[in-house]
Chains A and B, each alone.
Chain A
Amino acid sequence: MGGSKSTSATSAEAEVFSLSASVAEMEAMAKKLRRHIVTMVGKAGSGHPGGSLSAVEIVTALYFKILRHKPLDPQWEDRDRFILSKGHAAPLLYATLAECGYFPVKELLTLRQMDSRLQGHTDRTITPGVEMSSGSLGQGLSFALGAALAGRVDGRGYRVYALLGDGECNEGQVWEAAMATAHYNVDNLTAVVDNNGQQIDGWNCDVMNLDPFVGKWQAFGWKVIEVDGHSISQLIDAFKEAQKVKGQPAVIIAHTVKGKGVSFMENNPDFHGKAPNAIEMELALKELE
């Protein structure tokens, strides 16, 4: 699979990450990322497997097919930015960054340990490739909008992608940002909602009903694209369609399953923020072979 072939970490020589992967290769990568997530969280003894597993295909499609980025030069000024607003999906982002070559894959096993660069929630000050310190929900779309407006003011061609949780959309700030993004006719930003239907206390509709969810985004001035969030090809098509939307922002509502890929974690809010024990970890990894 693609990757930066540069052996030097200097900014000028670092190459743009190859986006030549096939759908089949990305599907294999998605499975690999799921194994990393289960192993990392299991070893750490705490963390958020459910919302990491649901967004695997979204993040895989982005990093291996859509984003222009340089793993050996994470601060490359013209890079596309990926803002993980749902910061509890940090294990997924770390696994992806490691597989892209931002840092060694073996470092993934240090998740949540003292002195690790892989904090419980993302920290932009210490992890190569992490754009935003998140974990307090609702803040990522505003941050992404700031980066998108800065790119527009500077005449840079980069795009900004923000990944939000559906439960996260309970936060009022998300809608402040949604209003402002449309107000400024921002079209170099794509939001993606990992619409897995669940949050810590249960199903969204019972905790705090978001419906009509599509209608809300449309009413706020957004072009809405709905996809199966576990279909790499649908996601890639949606990202490309979103790039073509001009004069308004686009949001991809990706219908997903919380805990996807591990039968006993699927649609089980218990695994929102609980690590698998040793036996569960073994079972999960067997399912992901």
Chain B
Amino acid sequence: MVEEVSIREAYGKTLLELGMENQDIVALDADLSRSTMTRFFAREFPERFFECGIAEQNMIGIAAGMAAAGKIPFASTFAVFVPGRCFDQVRMSIAQPGLSVKLVTTHGGLSVGEDGTSHQSIEDLSLICSLPGFSVIVPADAIETTEAVKAAAATLGPFYIRLCRPKLPLVYSEDYQFKLGKAAMMRQGGDATIIAIGLMVKAALEAARNLEREGIYCRVLNMSTLKPIDEAAIIQAAAETGAIVTAEEHLEHGGLGSLVAQVVAKNRPVPMEFIAIKDTYAKSGKPSELLERYGLTDKDIERGVKSALKRKR
């Protein structure tokens, strides 16, 4: 049994650690610091933590003003509220001026579960990836979360890091070296490539393992940096494996699948399948039930691979 670790807790602890190292790091939250885990930082550095209340638009503006004055603000809330609730503020106060605000959101995707439609963030990646200059990361486990948060703190410019609510099984060991903008090869294979993000990376690995028993060898890429996307890895995967399946906890439109398809269509057209939510809103349910109902399991990925392979030349 693989150990399951909270990626929110990994964020909270990493933020605290960064706060100890760098006085310029400040944190903001919109009345969700217990859920986003910014409370670790808040407890240790109350003078550098800014509770903004249930007012996300204002939080974005404050963070932008702080960044313009030389601070490195980490602003957190649920992914459904940032960027959705305050898209224009993120656009004009952060993205256009290219300010170094780090948006780390939690409870992304369907796996927030029982809270239902209003809390299931399934459009955020499409929205945030549309903004010029943003770096966008969806980590696959706690270890990658820690690395991604450190990379965001150390890199100039605006960042969006999307975390999910449930604990996730580790897919990496402690010696993992996260590289911003680089896909990580999780498994070698020559028949098809599965490109996944977030909790779908684990599902992709299981799908690849199952398919291997049937003699189908899949490459698995973790495309944790959605933007800037690793075009070279995608083109190489298309050239070497001839079929690509993407897997994400997001709507089919505008997320990982769309971004990968643009690269594939332009450079090396191959058959593709998209494991994602199909143009609909979901309902309340347990995370595992929802992932199954809306087609986001290892079995769905396996079917996707087989479907793509039928069209492979």
Q: Which residues of A does B touch, CB under 8 Å?
A: 77, 81, 83, 123-125, 131-136, 138-151, 153-154, 172-173, 176-177, 179-180, 183-184
CA distance A81 to B97 in the complex (A): 16
Given A124-B97, A143-B61, A145-B62, CB of A132 within 8 Å of CB of B55:
no
Q: Which residue of B lies closest to A162 (CB)?
A: B65
What are 16 of the A-B contact pairs (CB < 8 Å)? A77-B70, A81-B69, A123-B96, A125-B97, A136-B91, A139-B57, A139-B92, A146-B63, A146-B73, A148-B65, A150-B70, A154-B69, A173-B61, A176-B58, A180-B52, A180-B55
* Interface status of B89 (Cβ within 8 A of chain A): yes
Q: B62 → chain A, closest Cβ, in Å?
A: 4
Residues of A contacting B209 with CB < 8 Å? none
* Chain B: number of interface residues, binned into ranges: 20 to 34
* Interface status of B93 (Cβ within 8 A of chain A): yes
Residues of A contacting B52 with CB < 8 Å? 180
Given A150-B70, A150-B71, CB of A144 within 8 Å of CB of B55:
no
Among A125, A153, A176, contact of B57 (Cβ-Cβ < 8 Å): A176
Residues of A contacting B65 with CB < 8 Å? 83, 132, 142-150
B97 engages A139 (CB within 8 Å)? no
A133 engages B96 (CB within 8 Å)? yes
Given A147-B69, A150-B71, A180-B52, CB of A172 within 8 Å of CB of B57:
yes
Q: Which residue of B lies closest to A83 (CB)?
A: B65
Q: A143 → chain B, closest Cβ, in Å?
A: 4
CA distance A173 to B52 in the complex (A): 12
Given A123-B96, A136-B92, A179-B55, CB of A142 within 8 Å of CB of B61:
yes
- 9 closest Cβ contacts across the A-B interface? A146-B65, A142-B61, A150-B69, A176-B58, A146-B62, A176-B55, A143-B65, A147-B65, A146-B66
* Interface status of B125 (Cβ within 8 A of chain A): no
Q: Per-position contact with A for B93-117: 1 when CB-CB < 8 Å, else 0?
A: 1001110000000000000000000
Q: B28 → chain A, closest Cβ, in Å?
A: 9
Q: Which residue of A lies closest to B69 (CB)?
A: A150
Residues of B contacting A135 with CB < 8 Å? 92
B98 engages A125 (CB within 8 Å)? yes
Residues of A contacting B47 with CB < 8 Å? 153
Q: Which residue of A lies closest to B50 (CB)?
A: A149
A149 engages B62 (CB within 8 Å)? yes
Q: A85 → chain B, closest Cβ, in Å?
A: 10
Q: Determine the main DSSP class of B at the interface with A.
A: helix
B89 engages A139 (CB within 8 Å)? yes
CA distance A146 to B247 in the complex (A): 38
Q: A219 → chain B, closest Cβ, in Å?
A: 17
Residues of A contacting B69 with CB < 8 Å? 81, 146-147, 150-151, 154
A-B Cβ contacts below 8 A, count: 109
Q: Which residue of B lies closest to A138 (CB)?
A: B57
Q: A196 → chain B, closest Cβ, in Å?
A: 23
Query: Could you tell me which residues of chain B, from 44 to 94, have a CB within 8 Å of some CB in chain A?
Result: 47-48, 50, 52-53, 55, 57-71, 73, 88-89, 91-93
Q: A71 → chain B, closest Cβ, in Å?
A: 19
* Interface status of B223 (Cβ within 8 A of chain A): no
CA distance A129 to B53 in the complex (A): 32
20 new A-B contacts, CB < 8 A, other than A132-B65, A136-B92, are A81-B69, A83-B65, A131-B68, A139-B88, A142-B62, A144-B65, A145-B62, A146-B62, A146-B64, A147-B66, A148-B65, A154-B69, A154-B71, A173-B58, A173-B61, A177-B62, A179-B53, A180-B53, A180-B58, A184-B50
CA distance A123 to B96 in the complex (A): 8
CA distance A183 to B51 in the complex (A): 10
CA distance A269 to B105 in the complex (A): 42
CA distance A81 to B55 in the complex (A): 24
A125 engages B89 (CB within 8 Å)? no
CA distance A136 to B67 in the complex (A): 19
Q: Which residue of A lies closest to B71 (CB)?
A: A150
* Interface status of B264 (Cβ within 8 A of chain A): no
Residues of B contacting A177 with CB < 8 Å? 58, 61-62
Residues of B contacting A123 with CB < 8 Å? 96-97
Residues of B contacting A184 with CB < 8 Å? 50
Q: A90 → chain B, closest Cβ, in Å?
A: 14
Q: A110 → chain B, closest Cβ, in Å?
A: 20
CA distance A184 to B69 in the complex (A): 18
Residues of B contacting A150 with CB < 8 Å? 26, 65-66, 69-71
Most buried by A among B60, B61, B62, B65: B65
Residues of B contacting A146 with CB < 8 Å? 61-69, 73
CA distance A116 to B310 in the complex (A): 55
Residues of A contacting B96 with CB < 8 Å? 123, 125, 133
A145 engages B71 (CB within 8 Å)? no
Q: Which residue of A lies closest to B58 (CB)?
A: A176
Q: Which residue of A lies closest to B24 (CB)?
A: A154
CA distance A131 to B68 in the complex (A): 8
Residues of B contacting A149 with CB < 8 Å? 50, 62, 65-66
Q: Which residue of A lies closest to B26 (CB)?
A: A153
A180 engages B62 (CB within 8 Å)? yes
Among A83, A142, A147, A148, contact of B58 (Cβ-Cβ < 8 Å): A142
Residues of B contacting A142 with CB < 8 Å? 57-62, 64-65, 89, 93
CA distance A147 to B99 in the complex (A): 13
Q: Which residue of A lies closest to B95 (CB)?
A: A133
CA distance A133 to B68 in the complex (A): 11
